[in-house]
Amino acid sequence: MPFKNVEGRPYLEGVAKRVFAHLILPFVDNPLSRQRIKLVWFVWGYWPLLFCPCQLSIVQRFGLLMKFMRVDWHILHGHTPNEMARIVIESVRLEVGPGAAMVEAGCWNGGSTAKFSALCECLGWELHVYDSFQGVEDVSRVAGEWDYSGQYSAAENTVRDNLKKYGADIEIRICPGWFADTLSRTPVPAEIAVAYIDCDIAKGTAEALSGILPSLMDKGVIFSQDYHITPVKLLLSSAETWVRLKHGRPEITQMSRRLSKLSWT
């Protein structure tokens, strides 16, 4: 394929990264300003939202696009437009009717949550959000984990404010606490069509799975935003994990460097 360098990365992407690293990064400290500048490149990743076949009308597609770009401008978040577009398309293609639930495990400032609320509004789904609101759990003493302790910390009120300003007008169930004390103890009280796990650690991913799987519909899917994090990838790929969770082993589809989809059909 043309435009590939030796690492297999598209040539243009390499150039864009170098331009950003050398000409912009040294002069822009504010992470939200950096996110806004990066949008010039990343915003094109929303293309599946407009062009991939699915049940959404053209009005709904443009509506979601506008809301998503507003979030990208105002809330610092941890996913790319292309990852979000793929999650939306896959969710809509499940053709699950109103009343089903979407679950987010790990919301940071609520950027992804605000976007999911817009999707749930379109589909008539409920949205359930779980987070410590204290950042990534300290797993520095857990063998094999990568250490992101305390990163991505945002207060529950910050998330609520962001959702009020940039989210859809639907009721969102927010469950504060470590997954070990919430999801791991009490399964989500709703029929889940789609779950999205983004907590950066294998321990948290396993705990989130233990609360999601008992409520997951047969055709439901789970996205992991952490597939580039080796301990998480190992957890999801290991047959032992699924024996422990007493659930069939999923088919894992890698959708981007970081995003993977777990499905069982």
Q: Interface residues with ligand SAM (CB under 6 A)? A: 77-79, 106-108, 111-112, 131-132, 135-137, 152, 178-179, 198-201, 204
CB of 164 to ligand SAM, least distance (A): 17
CB of 105 to ligand SAM, least distance (A): 7
Q: Which is nearer to ligand SAM, 68 or 178 (CB)?
A: 178
CB of 34 to ligand SAM, least distance (A): 14
Locate tokens 């950003």: which residue? 20
Q: Which is nearer to ligand SAM, 68 or 125 (CB)?
A: 68
Which tokens in the block code for residue 6? Answer: 């030796």
Q: Which is nearer to ligand SAM, 106 or 231 (CB)?
A: 106
Q: Of all residues in the chain, what percent are helix, strand and coil, respectively (each to 5)?
A: 45, 15, 40
From the list 118, 152, 147, the residue with the least C-alpha distance to 134 is: 152
CB of 129 to ligand SAM, least distance (A): 10
Query: How far apart are the C-alpha atoms of 61 and 65, rounded to whole Å?
Result: 6
Give the residue closest to ligand SAM by C-beta. 106
Q: Which is nearer to ligand SAM, 14 or 45 (CB)?
A: 45
Query: In the chain, which ranges are continuous DSSP H helix?
Result: 11-19, 31-42, 47-51, 58-74, 81-93, 111-123, 156-166, 202-212, 230-237, 239-244
